[in-house]
Amino acid sequence: MDRRSVEKRGLLSRRDFTRKAALAAAGAAIAPAALRAAPGILRDLTDVEGQAPPSTPLSAEDQAQADARVSAILRKYGERLSPEQKDEIRRLSTELQKPMIRLRAYPLVNSSQPATVLKLVADAKPAPVKPRR
């Protein structure tokens, strides 16, 4: 198969795939070194001692939702988890509640359109069926 027919159909040749895979692997290998070279990038995520910044307390209703989420997880997987993992689930559930509060605060009405709409393409050609030998 010549290169022009591959480009015409929008396929990726083996050579192009290998080239892109090698670039992705090189980028993944370089990324940790780049983070070590620029420690200021991670400073926003943690403070000097490596501890997470103190979180703001949740309202009683939000804390009840977080507790309900934790109890459902522990009810389902509790016997398989260590005490450290259970503590991490409690912490993550509380942290998850903060974006949920912001998401629920966004005003929506019944007439609001969805963010994405399914658009059917009527003139699309079906994939050719290969004959069996």
Other CB atoms within 10 Å distance of the CB of residue 66:
21
Residues 79 and 98 in one domain: yes
Residues 50 and 61 in one domain: no
Q: What is the DSSP string of 93-133?
A: HHHHHHHHHHHHHS---TTPPPSS-----TTPPPPPPPPP-
What is the per-residue pLDDT across 14-58, written as a single tens digit (0 to 9) for each?
888 888 888 787 777 776 665 565 555 555 444 444 455 556 688
Domain range spanning residue 92? Answer: 55-105
Closest CA to 51 of 63, 43, 60: 43
Taking the C-alpha atoms of residue 41 and residue 34, their distance in angstroms, rounded to an integer, is 10
What is the per-residue pLDDT across 49-96, written as a single tens digit (0 to 9) for each?
445 555 668 888 888 898 999 999 999 988 998 999 999 999 999 999
The pLDDT of residue 30: 72
The pLDDT of residue 48: 43
Q: Does residue 127 lie in a domain region? A: no
The predicted model gives 106-115 an average pLDDT of: 81
Q: Does residue 119 lie in a domain region? A: no
